[in-house]
Structures are given as structure tokens and as C-alpha cells.
């Protein structure tokens, strides 16, 4: 096996495993055994090990003594604490953005929302999984909302919490079932509040947007508490 060939195989299983975790086909807390994965994805055990190491670094997989590698467990307590932190800090940062942001910031928010509206929500080839283009546009829109705030420490904290919540957000779609929710309308309402410079309304809308996603996931997925720090 050449070095480039090995890298290609590792990349391939990394992407396949990542997609299966985000789509819920590999369930939270499911054990990931090298022989089973190598057989499932038709790659070597070595490539499988390297891919799992990457996924540990990304927070999608955890490694535990005597258990080996597992899909990250879904902890209701962790999700509730993360959601509380995000709802308070992100909504505060958005309020400050509305109060402090200039016309360039407004333009960036409008442009980011334009891209989000036109991105497909689900992957046509994998309906259980959010489309990558939508996920990227969604992250860009929410980042744009927050960057009007002049306090960089607050902005950095808010963005860090958003990144930490990405797996939970993906699972809320793949494991949840809420056909009546209009996510696009929620984003449009956020944009309208921002452009109207209604800081309090924008803050309330974002808090509701964040907590709604957490409620969906808690209601449909079993609690699998992890160890502190995971």
C-alpha cells in the first residue's frame, strides 16, 4: 500500500464513519470494533484505527478503558447544560450585535441568510443526514449574526459553544421526528428582527431557537451519561 493510497483509504472511512454517526446509523454509545468496521467499510484495520483517532479529536467518538472506541454517548445533562450556556451567551451576543453592528454587519447577515435559504436542507442521497452545504450555510449565518458584537471574548465563547453543539444539532434531525417544525421560518424571523434592530426580540427568538432543538433531542433519544469532561 502506498502512502497516498493509505491516506485515501483513511479519508474514505473517516468520511463514511462520520456520515454514519451524524445520521444516527451508528447510534450514540455504540461500540466501534476494528474488525467489524474494517469489514463493514472494506478497509484495513490500520486505516480504521487512524480514522477513529481523527473522530476522537473531532468529538464524535470517545475512547474508554476496557471498552475501546464508542460513538459519543448522548448525555441529557450535558446537552441541558450546554443548551443553557448557549441560550444565555449566544442570545446576549446577538443582542449586542443588534445594538452595535454597522451596515457592513447587516449586509453580511443578509448575504449569509441568502445562502442558507437556497441550500438544500437534507442530503438528497442520504435523507437521514443534513446536507453538508446546508450545515455550512447554517453555521455561516449564525456566525454572521454574532460578529456584530464588539466584545471578542464573548463572540469567541459563543462560537466555541456552537461548535461543541454541532453533533447534538445533527442528531436532532437524524434521531428526531418533527415534520411540523419550520426551521427556515425561524431563521427568517431572526433576520427580520435583526434588520428591524429589535434587540430584545432577536435575543428571545435565538434563545427559543436554541432550546427548541435540545428539547427535540431529549424527547426522542435515550440518556447515556458519559464520564466528566467527555
- pLDDT of 217 reads 83
Q: Is the pLDDT of residue 39 over 50?
A: yes
CATH topology of domain 3-71: Arc Repressor Mutant, subunit A (1.10.10)
Instruction: Using pLDDT thresholds of 50, 70 and 90, give the confidence band for residue 6.
Output: low
- Whether residue 42 has pLDDT greater than 80: yes
Q: Report domain extents, the chain.
A: 3-71, 76-220
Q: What is the pLDDT of residues 74-124, one digit of tens each?
A: 888 989 999 999 999 999 999 999 999 999 999 999 999 999 999 998 878
- Whether this prediction's pTM lies above 0.85 is answered by no
pLDDT confidence of residue 179:
66
pLDDT at 172: 81
Report the pLDDT value the prediction gives residue 108, as an integer from 0 to 100.
Answer: 98
pLDDT tens across 188-228, in order?
A: 999 999 999 999 999 999 999 999 988 888 887 777 765 43
CA–CA gap between residue 79 and residue 87 (Å, rounded): 12
Q: Which of 191, 207, 188, 183 is nearest to 105 (CA)?
A: 191
* Domain 76-220, classified CATH 3.30.70.20, yes or no: no
d(CA 165, CA 24): 16
Tell me what the mean pLDDT of segment 43-59 comes to: 90
**Once rounded to an integer, what is the mean pLDDT over residues 32-47?**
90
> Where does residue 185 rank: exposed (0-12), middle (13-18), buried (19+ CB within 10 A)?
exposed
Cβ 130 vs Cβ 22: under 8 Å: yes
Instruction: For residue range 116-160, list pLDDT tens digits in order.
Output: 999 998 878 777 777 888 989 999 999 999 999 999 999 999 999
Q: Residue 177: its pLDDT value, please?
A: 65
pLDDT of 2 > 80? The answer is: no
Half-sphere exposure of 144 (CA within 13 A, CB side): 25
Q: Rounded to whole angstroms, how far apart are CA atoms 192 and 112?
A: 13
DSSP per-residue codes, 55-91: HHHHTSEEEETTTEEEEPP--HHHHHHHHHHHHHHHH
- 151 to 44, 51, 95, 119, 221: CA distances (angstroms): 48, 37, 12, 30, 36
Q: What is the pLDDT, as a whole number, of residue 229?
A: 43
User: What pLDDT does residue 10 have?
Assistant: 84
- Angle made by CA atoms 111, 135, 198, in degrees to the nearest 5: 45
Amino acid at each position: 500500500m502506498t502512502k497516498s493510497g493509505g491516506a485515501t483509504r483513511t479519508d474514505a472511512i473517516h468520511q463514511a464513519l462520520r456520515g454514519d454517526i451524524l445520521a444516527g446509523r451508528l447510534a450514540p454509545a455504540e461500540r466501534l470494533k476494528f474488525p467489524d468496521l474494517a469489514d463493514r467499510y472494506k478497509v484495513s484495520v490500520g486505516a480504521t484505527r487512524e480514522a477513529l483517532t481523527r473522530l476522537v479529536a473531532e468529538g464524535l467518538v470517545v475512547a474508554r478503558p476496557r471498552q475501546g472506541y464508542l460513538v459519543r454517548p448522548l448525555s441529557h445533562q450535558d446537552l441541558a447544560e450546554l443548551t443553557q450556556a448557549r441560550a444565555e451567551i449566544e442570545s446576549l451576543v446577538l443582542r449586542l450585535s443588534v445594538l452595535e453592528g454597522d451596515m457592513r454587519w447587516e449586509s453580511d447577515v443578509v448575504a449569509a441568510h441568502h445562502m442558507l435559504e437556497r441550500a438544500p436542507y437534507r442530503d438528497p442521497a442520504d435523507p437521514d443526514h443534513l446536507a453538508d452545504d446546508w450545515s455550512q450555510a447554517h453555521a455561516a449565518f449564525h456566525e454572521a449574526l454574532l460578529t456584530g458584537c464588539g466584545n471578542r471574548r464573548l463572540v469567541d465563547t459563543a462560537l466555541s459553544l456552537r461548535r461543541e453543539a454541532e453533533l447534538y444539532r445533527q442528531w436532532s434531525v437524524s434521531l428526531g421526528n418533527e415534520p411540523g417544525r419550520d426551521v427556515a421560518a425561524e431563521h427568517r424571523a431572526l433576520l427580520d428582527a435583526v434588520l428591524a434592530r429589535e434587540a430584545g426580540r432577536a435575543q428571545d427568538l435565538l434563545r427559543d431557537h436554541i432550546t427548541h432543538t435540545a428539547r427535540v433531542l431529549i424527547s426522542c433519544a435515550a440518556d447515556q451519561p458519559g464520564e466528566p469532561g467527555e
